[in-house]
Structure 1
């Protein structure tokens, strides 16, 4: 199957199942959709199976958005039950976030692979520095800004999330903590962006990659029934079920952790992701 042995396929299935479990857990703990885990895992998965560089990164991102759509819904519901979600922020962000996601999907049709990796490295590094530094003086303001500025931020979160294949958790969490909101509230509120980003984002990537199957006829993973545009149906089948099971566990763990421990864990997680993609850019 796909030019690999049965043993290699077994290892891939087990690895992606484990990644799915970790994805769901992180979605709950950090209020993210898990895309920052899914994208690097799928990148290696598709590399082993011979997906060309030109289409590998957008295929990872489109698949990630499709996977985190249901996972983020479950994570959001778990956090909402804790009463920590700021619905007023989500209402302000809803429309501009979706517009930004659709624009990001359009860019994905023409963008080089290095653009996706650069966005990953820059955003994850800034987030990690802020969280690991943990200085109260590192703020843009003492409270959330006005509606116009909030909508601009929402649009930017949508664009960047679409180019990273994430549910917007680290971006919105970074924003909220810069404006003095507690990390637990930032994480909980951020989980609500997942469905707003993942659903239109996945649809955008399907259309962005719609003609790629014909352009790359020798790449099996781009062909039906293994993919729809830049969304890998194989990746979805292998990662999605396990991630759905573990998302509520992560949400419970997040509310049990002290504030500083959650900040350090989130910061180290994002720093590891940034270094991983920076290394791939240097080595390419």
Structure 2
């Protein structure tokens, strides 16, 4: 990265590998695609370099989306083997998620770094509160039947997940839970939704960052290729471990873990945006 000597680059590489391990486990455990860890860590690491602060959050979000592509594949395969991916819901929500993710990447071209941090912090904090309360908000006993309702829900998940640089779990898990979907099925299905968010979102961020000045070497638009290549192997191999743990952990504990990680990262992002 810009402004780092050999020792600094080695430390950065080790930090990215460690981030990938943690993100991979959480991807399988919580269905979040790892972005809930990758975005704030990358944002902090990039801010420590000599990069323009206006591009660091865009780089963190875009690079996170790129790493989610293989991570979500690995996690979804593990969950599907255990029968916890709802393919009917995935087909119903798929088009809306893809369109929402594309729109999110396009919108990011015109959004400031602090605007992206604010979106991340506010949405993540709201979800954390909902997941942490003793009785999770329940909207209905089953998911809506109408195409308009499903299009709105899936579009919301795709749009804000793309803007936040996260997989589908952060939003799709609590939304599914609100419609009485069992938590393990919600997590497994959300892990598959991560791929539908990450591919179009990554492509849109590559377009949005193409030709932008001040980006680090070997970047594709806003995607830092070296950072992605360091994170991806760790997330790929560790996601199945998280998926295995998810099927052994008490459901109430799983929700509390989900809420805790969301709250921590949300507060950090809000502080960065407003401080």
Question: Under TM normalisation by the shorter chain, which class is it?
Answer: over 0.9
Please report how far the alpha carbon of residue 85 of structure 1 lies from its aligned counterpart in structure 2 after TM superposition: 1.3
The answer as to 2:251 corresponding to 1:259 is yes
The answer as to 2:271 corresponding to 1:279 is yes
What runs of 5+ residues in structure 1 fail to find an aligned partner? none
Q: Is the 8 A contact 2:28 2:246 kept in 1?
A: yes
Q: Which residue of 2 is the match for residue 227 of structure 1?
A: 219
Runs of 4+ in structure 1 over 4 Å off: none
Please report how far the alpha carbon of residue 258 of structure 1 lies from its aligned counterpart in structure 2 after TM superposition: 0.6
Aligned length in residues:
274
Q: Which residue of 2 is the match for residue 268 of structure 1?
A: 260
CA deviation map 1:65-116 (0-9, x unaligned): 1111011011001000110111111101111111111111110111112221
Q: Equivalent residues in 2 for 1:48-197 (5 A)?
A: 48-135=48-135, 138-146=137-145, 147-197=147-197
Distance (Å, rounded) in 2 between the aligned partners of 1:188 and 1:123: 21
Please report how far the alpha carbon of residue 6 of structure 1 lies from its aligned counterpart in structure 2 after TM superposition: 2.1
Distance (Å, rounded) in 2 between the aligned partners of 1:160 and 1:4: 33
CA deviation map 1:229-283 (0-9, x unaligned): 0000111121111111101000000000011110111110111111111121232
SS in structure 1 at match of 2:247: helix
Please report how far the alpha carbon of residue 121 of structure 1 lies from its aligned counterpart in structure 2 after TM superposition: 1.4
SS in structure 2 at match of 1:102: helix
Q: CA RMSD in A?
A: 1.3
Using the size of structure 1 for normalisation, the TM-score is 0.93
Q: Which residue of 2 is the match for residue 236 of structure 1?
A: 228
Distance (Å, rounded) in 2 between the aligned partners of 1:103 and 1:4: 35
